[in-house]
Amino acid sequence: MSLIEKLASALKKSEAEVLIFLKNAPKKYKVYTIPKRTSGHRVIAQPSKELKEYQRKYLELQDFPIHNSAIAYRKNFSIKDNANAHKKNRYLLKLDLENFFNSISNHLFWRVWESILPMPPEADKRILENLLFWCPSKTIGGRLILSIGAPSSPLISNFFMYKFDDAIYEICMEREIKYTRYADDLTFSTNRKNILFELPHLVETLLFSLFGSAIRINKKKTKFSSTGHNRHVTGITISNNQKLSLGRDRKRYIKHLVHHYMLEKLSNEDTQHLRGLLSFAKHVEPLFLHSLENKYSTGLIHKIVEGRDD
């Protein structure tokens, strides 16, 4: 059965409808920018509602291999699992992949696919490119890349990195190094002193061998750390006693917001923000939530978390 036939059946549409819709699908995106955490802006390309439906259906039809080292976008895994993997090791290295999603083109995607899975027929390839990739140029037939905003991009990016994840995992195993990847964040940890210093070069070499110069390390974000210094993994602090923590600054900020909520000085938007932070605290460091309940009362904290107006 062809891809068009599978999609038409899954979406309960005719094959002609699916073909017509997907013909210009790489242009069916709403593009906007959001500020980055540090500086500059990130371009978000959001597929139309109908295209999202098509992309989600396709993910139900195709089973992609994902390496165990890839933590992001997997059911029952979170940033807490990513941090947990490294909490018992003294030395830490964090690397960041530059402009990750938008660096994955249709051509690189097929190169990876061919090394892992049997190639689909040419007709299916064209359909799949239109389904999964965004065309940022104004002309038809321009370069195709993964978008930040498509529901299919996270899983496709994990599949795309499978060969890399597997190769770097083996390299790390030989050196007693723990490796995980959370989207574009690569984390390495070990109890062997100085061994992490060779990793950035090894990673760069492997990336070039697999993807040429398309996927690169953002060297400005390379960070080495160890016990005795702040160790952070995907936004979670690892304390010197091997516990996961929100970190001192985030705890102070949450207390500040709770105090203002108690004084009825928080806007609805800030209250929603606080609710999210408390849910995160419950997940990462539940003892801190208990300390807030002891300080401000269980009733107040539950009222915020549950969104009650009474």
Answer whether 166's CB lies under 8 Å from 114's CB: no
Domain ranges of the chain: 3-233, 246-306
In three-state secondary structure terms, 91 is strand
| Residues ≥6 apart with Cβ < 8 Å to 78 | 71, 283
**What pLDDT is attached to residue 25?**
95
pLDDT tens for each residue of 166-199: 999 999 999 999 999 999 999 999 999 999 999 9
Query: How many angstroms separate the CA atoms of 274 and 263, rounded?
Result: 14
Model confidence pTM above 0.75: yes
Name the helix (H) or strand (E) containing 227: none
Answer whether 226's CB lies under 8 Å from 90's CB: yes
Query: How many angstroms separate the CA atoms of 101 and 156, rounded?
Result: 9
- In this structure, how many other beta carbons lie within 10 angstroms of the beta carbon of residue 109? 22
Question: Could you write out the three-class secondary structure of 159-189?
Answer: HHCHHHHHHHHHHHHHCCCEEEEECCEEEEE
Query: How many angstroms separate the CA atoms of 11 and 118, rounded?
Result: 25
**What pLDDT is attached to residue 170?**
98
Answer whether 84's CB lies under 8 Å from 181's CB: no
**What pLDDT is attached to residue 307?**
79
Across the range 36-45, mean pLDDT stands at: 80
Q: Can you tell me which residue has the tokens 């160890």?
A: 226
Query: How many angstroms separate the CA atoms of 26 and 140, rounded?
Result: 9
pLDDT tens for each residue of 253-299: 999 999 999 998 989 999 999 999 999 999 999 999 999 999 989 89
Nearest residue to 153 (alpha-carbon basis) of 73, 35, 69, 34: 73
Please, which pLDDT band fits residue 228 given cuts at 50, 70 and 90?
confident
Query: How many angstroms separate the CA atoms of 69 and 85, rounded?
Result: 10
Query: How many angstroms separate the CA atoms of 101 and 89, rounded?
Result: 30
Answer whether 11's CB lies under 8 Å from 18's CB: yes
- Residue count of the chain, please give it: 310
pLDDT tens for each residue of 107-141: 999 999 999 999 999 999 999 999 999 999 876 66
In three-state secondary structure terms, 261 is helix
State the chain's mean pLDDT as an integer. 93
Q: Helices in the chain by DSSP H: which ranges?
A: 3-11, 15-23, 49-61, 79-84, 106-116, 122-132, 153-160, 162-174, 199-211, 248-262, 268-284, 286-296, 298-306
> Position 294: which residue type?
N
**What pLDDT is attached to residue 84?**
94
Query: How many angstroms separate the CA atoms of 282 and 245, rounded?
Result: 11
